[in-house]
Amino acid sequence: TREFHLARRPHGVPVADDYRLVERELPDPAEGDVLIRNVALSIDPYMRPRMNDVPSYIPPFQIDEPMPGGAVGEVIASHDPRVPEGSMVVHDHGWREHAIARADEVRVIEPGGHPWTYYLGVLGMPGLTAYAGLFDVASFTAGEAVFVSAAGGAVGGLAGQFARLAGASRVVGSAGTQDKVRYAVETLGFDHAFNYKDGKLTKQLAQAFPGGFDVYFDNVGGDHLAAALEVINWYGRMALCGAVSVYTATEVPMIPGRLFRAIGKRLRLQGFIVFDHNHLIPEFETRVGAWLDSGELVYREHVTDGLEQMPSAFAGMLAGDNTGKAVIRLD
Ligand code: NDP
């Protein structure tokens, strides 16, 4: 079986030599373990900061070790009765074809008629991130106006749609290509979207929201955060979800000078990590499952085939190649 190891710590955008594709014997699961054949792997922006050896909310990837990461797979051997052979499971042993996991580390998927990959996206970690960020962290309520960055991506596309479905007065997204701008409006039902590469961000944002906005769902950080501070309404809330614009920067800019705007405007900015919001899972699954089933919620994936494509697909996602959730499909 094959698995990716981190060969060295990348500088900026990861390149092929930062990884090693290692072939090894398929191990036997011990008591309490399951052996999983992965069918799909998740490609997530947080993996890039996790390649750095810095203190964080999660331990860094280790050199010459298989890299963790979201994955979905079929249990092909089980030494724990709670997870029988044939179960489909979500777990954190990605970047590899087969995984050994403790039975209590995996989540068994109840077949609900959705593609397995949805449990890496809309019905999984990114979906819960969008849900928790909007409703819990930013305290969004019906009638408010919402700005979402990286609107063509997994979390952003969902956060904007959740706001629309929950009665936002206006939802605007930003993205890096014309195709994504069109996708956000025509497919996902955003009221408006703009290409952040097309002109001054603050100006585009102010034009998009003549009456300002109340909630910013921030996936990008940097200039987007600075522009949002300028245009957001008094008593606005910002869910600081991610900062993909700085993940591959070799020099991270200092805190935006415009942060002082938060004082006069009485803003609330809150960073959050999805796994502190697991109490929302039952509500999230019910509500989002219903939106999916009714067709009101649109979900798209950007699928790449083959384990060996993982590094290039990962760099591609960081560069914005993906529309929707980036995943790797294995045979
Ligand atoms: P996406 O599917 O949104 O993919 C990342 C996107 O970021 C790219 O497609 C690209 O789109 C955009 N991007 C890259 N560079 C820049 C830049 N310089 N400026 C603006 N946009 C840029 O990824 P996810 O939906 O999986 O993740 C979105 C964010 O959510 C990330 O910041 C991630 O770290 C965060 N996150 C946070 C979690 C938490 O617990 N706090 C959990 C999960 C995700 P474009 O073409 O528009 O540039």
C-alpha 107 – ligand 1 centre gap (Å): 25
Sheet with strand 237-240: strands edge to edge: 192-195, 170-175, 145-148, 215-218, 237-240, 268-271
Give the mean model confidence (pLDDT) for residues 26-42.
95
Return the DSSP state at 300.
-
C-alpha 177 – ligand 1 centre gap (Å): 14
CA atoms within 13 A on the CB side of 288: 29
Out of 217, 219, 225, mutate this one to test ligand 1's pocket (max ligand atoms within 8 Å of CB): namely 219
Phi, psi of 320 (to 5 degrees): 95, 20
C-alpha 242 – ligand 1 centre gap (Å): 7
Encode pLDDT of 210-230 as tens digits. 999 999 999 999 999 999 999
C-alpha 5 – ligand 1 centre gap (Å): 23
The answer, yes or no, to whether residue 54 has pLDDT greater than 90, is yes
Q: What is the rounded average pLDDT for all residues in the chain?
A: 96
Give the mean model confidence (pLDDT) for residues 124-138.
98
Q: What pLDDT is stored for residue 184 in this prediction?
A: 98
The answer, yes or no, to whether residue 168 has pLDDT greater than 80, is yes
Q: What pLDDT is stored for residue 251 in this prediction?
A: 84
Give the mean model confidence (pLDDT) for residues 298-309.
98
Which residues approach ligand 1 with their CB closer than 6 A?
44-46, 126, 129, 150, 152-156, 175-177, 180, 219-220, 241-245, 272-274, 317-318, 320, 322, 326
**Domains of the chain as residue ranges with CATH:** 2-118+301-329 (3.90.180.10), 125-275 (3.40.50.720)
Closest C-alpha residue for ligand 1 atom 17: 245
pLDDT > 70 fraction of the chain, expressed in percent and rounded = 100
ipTM of the complex: 0.99
The answer, yes or no, to whether residue 257 has pLDDT greater than 90, is no
Q: What pLDDT is stored for residue 183 in this prediction?
A: 98
Q: What pLDDT is stored for residue 331 in this prediction?
A: 78
Ligand 1 atom with minimal separation from the 243 CA = 32
Give the mean model confidence (pLDDT) for residues 45-64.
96
The pTM is what? 0.98
C-alpha 153 – ligand 1 centre gap (Å): 6
Encode pLDDT of 258-273 as tens digits. 899 999 999 999 999 9
User: 81, exposed or middle or buried, with CB in 10 Å at 0-12, 13-18, 19+?
Assistant: exposed
The answer, yes or no, to whether residue 250 has pLDDT greater than 90, is no
